[in-house]
Amino acid sequence: MGLMEQLLSFIFGGGRNVIAETAHVFRENAEAAGQREVHLTSQALAQYAAEFAHSRKSWFDRAMDGMNRLPRPRLAFGTLGLFVVAMIDPVWFASRMQGIALVPDPLWWLMGAIVSFYFGARHQVKAQEFQASIAQTMARVPQVVSNTRALQSLDDEGAPPTQNAALAEWSKTKL
């Protein structure tokens, strides 16, 4: 018995657990990894939210946003208008299309580059605004979780007992 006691005290004695300490060498501590992950995520979200915290409020920025919204609807309605004009006055439409047929290819390429850069830049701006709104939402998650836990604790305090005494007595009499 003394040998087993010495062996077990060597492994588990003195407030140590040699097996657990050895396992940590080969396998990451899940709790510590979770804490590190939460810390890393919260720091990244805080940095991300701070990066997009400023908002544009000047009249010039609002006017430019309004101007940036015009080309897309104009292009769409203009294209639809061409279809309508082609049905109403085919000769007028055909004469205009003959003029467009004379535009050289490099000018079409330039037009395509300008339009694609415009819409590409607009897409990038909108994507960044979307990411900023996600960052702001994610920054509010800890407060929402805290509020939810507080509400659940209030619900648990006022909850009725899980065992209904009258129902338990009634079920005993029926059996």
pLDDT of residue 87: 93
DSSP-assigned letters across all residues of 60-127: HHHHHHHHHTSHHHHHHHHHHHHHHHHHH-HHHHHHHHHHHHTS-HHHHHHHHHHHHHHHHHHHHHHH
In whole angstroms, give the CA distance from residue 92 to residue 117: 32
**pLDDT tens across 141-165, in order?**
888 888 888 888 876 666 555 677 7
| pTM of this structure | 0.36
Residue 49 in tokens = 């939210």
- Tell me which amino acid residue 119 is: F
Nearby residues of 119 by Cβ (< 8 Å), 6 or more positions away: 72
pLDDT of residue 22: 73
